[in-house]
Amino acid sequence: MTQVDLEQGQPSLNAMRSGTNPPLIARKRGIFPELAAEFFGVLILVVFGTGVNCAVTLSSNPGSVLGPPKGDWVSVSFGRAAGIGLGVWISSRISAGHVNPAATLAMAIIREFSWKKVPLYVFAQLLGGICGAGIVYGNYIHAIDAFEGGRHIRTLATAGLFDPPAADYLTNISAFFEEFLGTAILLFAICSARDKREGTDSQEPTGIHGDTAERAAIVAFITILGISISIGAQTGFSLNPARDLGPRILTAMVGYGRQVGVSAYDFFFYTGKDSIFNKE
């Protein structure tokens, strides 16, 4: 029977915490808290990861409006590692803590994560990527203007701040292998951190708590830092479709789409000498 506070006639705090009689508003929320957790997890990941790209690159030119150079590849590595560590830590306490469509799909295929949640999780993650990139763009818009030479000038020089391109010398297969390798290592590490062998039930609830969530966040931080410093330099180590596609959508929305589209056409089809891709 539900414990009752005799003075107020309301379910006690202990009863609410035990889950025997959750408040009505909690029951009405349904899956929304999980989706919000995935959204904010990816948003934080992108804010940190894309933000450090802007801080380092936009301060690299002599006379930059940002002043002296703000860092290098090590700074980028730590910024992105902090982003995923904090994103996983926050989301893991409420949702499955994937903050990555690849992780969501893998868990649905291998760990019996509900397929009904997959499209909702992916949508929330992608939206988090778009909004996170939007926050960074708004924060650095004046520095981008100064770097590009004007408010309405948007080129590949700063588009790469939001969706870092792979090195020119890489083949598609080589780029795929680097991203595949990094993603596999990350998922392996996260699954290991969340393994509860000491418990009597091997299946975790949607949200994980306490030591497990904190351990997953620390492992995510260390893993991304290691991947970045060791094998991530050639492709920018996106390792995350939401982190990659979300900022790309944002750049198309704010004026980069025309430049990117022309570049793609010139690279594959155009033969005129007035294109940078055809200069001798």
Give the tens place of pLDDT for each residue, 197-223. Answer: 544 444 444 666 567 788 889 999 999
pLDDT tens by residue, 213-269: 888 899 999 999 999 999 888 888 888 889 988 998 999 888 887 655 555 666 566
Averaged over successive runs of 10 residues, the pLDDT of the chain (280 residues) comes to: 42 46 62 93 95 92 83 92 93 88 90 90 96 96 91 86 85 89 89 65 54 86 93 84 90 76 60 60
Q: What angle do CA 40, 46, 52 make, to 5 degrees?
A: 135
Stated pTM of the model: 0.78
Q: Which phi and psi (to 5°) does residue 155 adopt?
A: -125, 180
Measured torsion, CA atoms of residues 9, 15, 17, 21, in degrees rounded to the nearest 10:
-80
Percent of the chain with pLDDT over 70: 76
CB 75 within 8 A of CB 158: no
- Residue among 117, 110, 82, 119 at smallest CA distance from 96: 117
Taking the C-alpha atoms of residue 46 and residue 37, their distance in angstroms, rounded to an integer, is 14
- Give the model's pLDDT for residue 9: 42
